[in-house]
Amino acid sequence: MSNYHIKHLEEYYQVYRKSIREPENFWEEVAEEHFVWRKKWDKVMSWDFSKPEIKWFEGAKLNITENCIDRHLATRGDKTAIIFEPNNPDEEAQHISYRQLYHKVNKFANVLKDHGIKKGDRVCIYVPMIPELAISLLACAKIGAIHSVVFAGFSSRALSSRINDCDCKMVITSDGSFRGTKSIDLKGIVDEALENCDGVETVLVVNRTGGDVVMTEGRDKWLQPLLDAASDELEAEVMDAEDPLFILYTSGSTGQPKGMVHTTAGYMVYTAYTFKNVFQYREDDVYWCTADIGWITGHSYIVYGPLANGATTVMFEGVPHYPDFGRFWQIVEKHKVNQFYTAPTAIRALAKQGAELVEKYDLSSIKVLGSVGEPINEEAWHWYNDVVGKKKSPIVDTWWQTETGGIMITPIPFVTPTKPTYATLPFIGIQPALMDENGLEQKGNQVEGRLCIKFPWPSIARTIWGNHQRYKDTYFSAYENMYFTGDGALRDEVGYYRITGRVDDVIIVSGHNLGTAPIEDAINEHPAVSESAIVGFPHDIKGSALYGFVTLKEVGESRVHDNLRKEINQLISDRIGPIAKLDKIQFTEGLPKTRSGKIMRRILRKIAENDTSNLGDISTLLNPEVVQDIMDNSL
């Protein structure tokens, strides 16, 4: 028997040791006992981090939707798979059973097929948090099409570059989306994006808001009539273990976003196994992750992980502050949520509103609280623990990444004693290493370094779409035979990990991973701008916010500067999305540079953080004189 469900600390250590000593036996048992396969694997795993090439369950045949839906029909056909909670609290929630989900996915998959989508084709999904979003992922998976979900808050430029990067043939979208009091014209954004995307043949449009849309003849089709006419039965495509399941874009420290490719079997096994243990999910529990399916958190822990376990998963369309800041707690009470998983930025925003809005609602159903996306600060951790969890529901601070597919470092609730701001222990099968700048592993406890992983796990991304070299350069070149995460971490006296933050030019704003390069590119498009540099600085709610240092071609008056700030943020909004807007923009006469012309972000970061006592040696700069000027005028 594999240890599918870990129940106490000794068992964790025992299973952990086994997963490290005999990874193949360990994962083979999990895969064998808890999933359905059309054909079992020939080899559990093979890996070579120097190529890099990683394979899990090679030779196996399966379809992930048979694991997430079909196999539950016999015992859980009437169980609710998805609870949909609409933006407007007066609109009725929907409960979609596993049987209904099965038929809905089949219908949708038949529509995809009827429009020429076949195994291996890429389908872009730009849909808000409505049931059709989850269903469209599963419909793609059913027929072996590769989904590429783009968060429906990204701009038309960001959308078109992602559509073109992986040559999507189809876009699935909706007329619009509801977010609090606002409704957003998504179809209009898609239309704009598609002016630059020749490869898209079909656009399927979900009717959600009833807003005005322009339908392009021959290309755009309303989804509902097609679903009504489609058969609700369909044989699943048989996939190889290593066939791509999806592409999901994430920012890098340089260049365009990276299309991370996740494959089928390993991703399924790891997300399901982590879901079961990290949330201690039991059969009748209601689980709610507040993320958007547009991010990896939603892929792995709203859709695939929960459904593979036959769980009931909540999808919330709205925002935490509508109609008021009590909405999350009202939903917890209404659906008797047992596991609640959110981001530190949301916790901080809600904590700011005080305890009354929490205490208004009955949260006694909550058993486990989760946190993800960025380091959780001490204050937010205690508020979450005390006010929301009433000191009885363990917090799982889960560290992972788009690239890792699933949770990597985390407590197991009721098993691992928690410690504020610590993600605690590696999950089963995960072998972290802390490296110093010279490439030496820092062994033992009470050490700090750059966080790497020494051995593959089943859900590691296999490549970057269309750019394997970049995959190698980004993740496997910093340290030999290691996956480099881009994060710094420390290990305390008992071996617990604390993630200290990014060590590269990625900034996590409200839990969203933003690369500085594309933002700088957007700013530099402004005709008045000569160059720019973005750094992060601490922010009460967002964790980090963006500070832009911008030099202008001609130094203007301050009155003009206010307009320029607006224009620059508008450009960023258009090119990337509102989430990448700058909180502070300082116009400077120059940017500090090394003699080789590289911008010294370290200095700018210190100025933005208001920590200028220790700037280090600036005398070797090409232009040390600009530093004082930037400090004098800092915002």
Structure tokens at 183: 């409704």
Minimum Å gap between C-beta 121 and ligand WT7 is 25
Minimum Å gap between C-beta 248 and ligand WT7 is 9
Nearer to ligand WT7, 166 or 289 (CB): 289
Minimum Å gap between C-beta 372 and ligand WT7 is 5
Minimum Å gap between C-beta 317 and ligand WT7 is 20
Determine the Cα–Cα distance for residues 427 and 169; give it in Å rounded to an integer.
38
Among 284, 283, 294, smallest CA distance to 247 is for 294
Residue ranges that bind ligand WT7, judged by CB under 6 A: 250, 295-297, 372-375, 397-402, 423, 485-487, 499, 502, 508, 513
Alpha-helical (H) ranges within 366-420 are 378-383
Minimum Å gap between C-beta 331 and ligand WT7 is 21
Q: How far is CA 551 from CA 360, 382, 392, in A?
A: 50, 42, 52
Nearer to ligand WT7, 382 or 565 (CB): 382
Nearer to ligand WT7, 63 or 385 (CB): 385
Minimum Å gap between C-beta 624 and ligand WT7 is 32
Nearer to ligand WT7, 109 or 499 (CB): 499
Q: How far is CA 338 from CA 4, 379, 587, in A?
A: 20, 23, 49
Nearer to ligand WT7, 295 or 483 (CB): 295
Determine the Cα–Cα distance for residues 456 and 84; give it in Å rounded to an integer.
35
Nearer to ligand WT7, 411 or 429 (CB): 411
Minimum Å gap between C-beta 499 and ligand WT7 is 4
Structure tokens at 2: 């594999």
Determine the Cα–Cα distance for residues 583 and 537; give it in Å rounded to an integer.
10
Minimum Å gap between C-beta 623 and ligand WT7 is 32
Among 204, 190, 122, smallest CA distance to 159 is for 190
Determine the Cα–Cα distance for residues 254 and 621; give it in Å rounded to an integer.
23
Minimum Å gap between C-beta 295 and ligand WT7 is 6
Q: How far is CA 347 from CA 373, 419, 480, in A?
A: 12, 17, 38
Determine the Cα–Cα distance for residues 361 and 137; give it in Å rounded to an integer.
34
Nearer to ligand WT7, 380 or 568 (CB): 380
Structure tokens at 587: 């116009």
Nearer to ligand WT7, 400 or 537 (CB): 400
Nearer to ligand WT7, 104 or 299 (CB): 299
For residue 175, the one-letter residue type is: D
Q: How far is CA 416 from CA 367, 422, 563, in A?
A: 15, 11, 53
DSSP code for 197:
-
For residue 245, the one-letter residue type is: L
Structure tokens at 110: 């038949």
Minimum Å gap between C-beta 498 and ligand WT7 is 8
Nearer to ligand WT7, 187 or 502 (CB): 502
Among 455, 460, 355, 365, smallest CA distance to 406 is for 460
For residue 432, the one-letter residue type is: P
Determine the Cα–Cα distance for residues 592 and 115; give it in Å rounded to an integer.
54
